[in-house]
Homo-oligomer: A and B are copies of this chain.
């Protein structure tokens, strides 16, 4: 890693923004391709994962199926495996940072930490990124800044009165014995399970009936790991379905949680907002076109509005296919890296050599039509 300022005012072929799994994953390919690049990270490697509540674990299981063509679901290269490094099936956030740091070191990635990107502007054929450490210039930008650090704050009135899921360090350390959890997706159920295990009383408010929604795609349905955890505490929490929260108020030292169907729930503790995350793309929103909150991308995950600006990570969406799991969005790293390499006229033999292992191990998804099917059994 780099710590001096020799990198500023240099010109890069590629600037990658973010040193989480997306930025490191695509950075490894740039390194293999010999492309001159730098990875700018606002805080430190895998910062989002460091901020996970200590009780939180990966919902997608790690298992070293690599070398039989079934790479670990949480791996970001075809030949590595968090299960192999960490010896656990469901890593914590801290665990996963260890895996990412190992990779950054193994591949000697040019990561520059504590560089906060403020603006990204395209001038003629170059990008100029202004940061707290000065300006960076490049021909290509890969936006890999993730989404976990940006809480969604518009799901109902009074979100500022709540604790957002991402702000919790430890559920067992939260003050009080009774908690209202708003939102019943993965994070809502995770909060509930961790609170119950800490012997707290939990009311979970679900605007639909997410527990009973079963879909083949894990982006639209609870993970089996989550269902197993819920099963274990099934009778220990109050669960309200079809109960959409419209506002939270704070009156006489009490939080009032009001719902669309006319109910009011009260708690002495701040409700926990688990309605999701906003996209880090707000920082570069002028550089993308949007449809239903998702950025429009061409077949190479490049902005339809700004050429040479690519997106990798959980915000990628093509039609109904959400790429919000590592095992999904990692399948686009090689697509992006290959496209940039071709434009830079890297010899095709060198490109093939760098991405062959990706093609051979389901790290190279080109057919986006597959992703809509449902299992027959």
Which residues in A have some Cβ–Cβ distance to B below 8 Å?
60-70, 73, 77, 79-81, 83-85, 87-90, 99, 102-103, 106, 214, 216-218, 221, 223-225, 227-228, 231, 321, 325, 327-328, 331, 360, 362, 365, 370-373, 375-377
Contact = CB atoms under 8 A, between A and B. Distances in A.
9 contacts: A61-B61, A63-B73, A63-B223, A65-B218, A67-B373, A68-B325, A77-B377, A79-B375, A85-B377
Contacts of A227: 87-89
A65 B221 CA distance: 12
Count identical subunits in the complex.
2
Contacts of A63: 60-61, 73, 218, 223-225
**Chain B CB within 10 A, most for which of A66, A68, A90, A216:** A68
**Chain B CB within 10 A, most for which of A61, A90, A223:** A61
Contacts of A224: 61-64, 83, 87-89
**Chain B CB within 10 A, most for which of A81, A84, A375:** A375
Contacts of A65: 60, 73, 218, 327
A360 to B, nearest CB: 8
Contacts of A362: 69-70, 362
A327 B216 contact: no
A68 B331 contact: yes
B64 A375 contact: yes
Given A64-B221, A360-B370, 17 more contacts: A60-B65, A61-B61, A61-B89, A61-B224, A62-B224, A63-B73, A63-B223, A65-B73, A67-B216, A68-B217, A68-B327, A68-B370, A69-B362, A84-B375, A87-B224, A88-B227, A103-B377
